Amino acid sequence: MSKPIITFVTGNANKLKEVQAIMEGIPMTNKALDLEEVQGTILEVATVKCQEAAKIIQGPVLVEDTALGFTAYGGLPGPYIKWFMEKIGHVGLNNMLVAYDDKSAQAICTFAFCEGPGEEVKIFQGIQDGTIVEARGPVGFGWDPCFLPNGFDQTYAEMPKSLKNTISHRFKALQLLKTFLASR
């Protein structure tokens, strides 16, 4: 008997493309849902979103929460980066760090998977260390233009997708998810 298709809950076309490229071979569809964005830790946010999505979809779901934490800010803006980007953009992110010598940051991707309503939520997290720099490369995919991953001379936005999709925080989290899905 085949396993039910997983519904990846996202309305973000760029995220969907990356996930499909990395998860090639895993049967998946997507659906945009307006889920409540609770305040809390990265894990709390992802878990609540996943539980809510499972109730709506009535089957296996995958949700993602991406965070960008500045070392100088003790990990903030963290899971609230989406709202910071909407209000202050790339220039504002850089301006937040003007008074600090430490421009280091962590890109954190958290995937939450649930088989259906009332089932346990499984968490898969990937982290990429890096530095916040002035925006470089194409804009259009969140904070990618101002995140320079450690060990590279290109921001996420400047990198070819084929490279980014083998080193990113999202890739690392999805590798853990793929291992889990293969074992079930």
What pTM did the predictor assign? 0.91
Confidence of residue 2 (pLDDT cuts 50, 70, 90): low
Buried b (16+ CB within 10 A) or exposed e, 126-136: bebebbbbebb
Confidence of residue 61 (pLDDT cuts 50, 70, 90): very high
Q: So what CATH class is 6-183?
A: alpha beta
**Residues whose CB falls within 8 Å of the CB of residue 166, separated by 6 or more in sequence, listed in order:** none
Name which of 112, 124, 7 is nearest 56 in CA terms. 7
Q: Where are the domains of the chain?
A: 6-183
**Torsion angle of alpha carbons 128, 130, 135, 141, nearest 10°?**
0
Beta 28-31 vs 6-9: how paired, if at all?
parallel
* Predicted confidence (pLDDT) per residue in 70-109, tens digit: 999 999 999 999 999 999 999 999 999 999 999 999 999 9
* Predicted confidence (pLDDT) per residue in 99-143, tens digit: 999 999 999 999 999 999 999 999 999 999 999 999 999 988 899
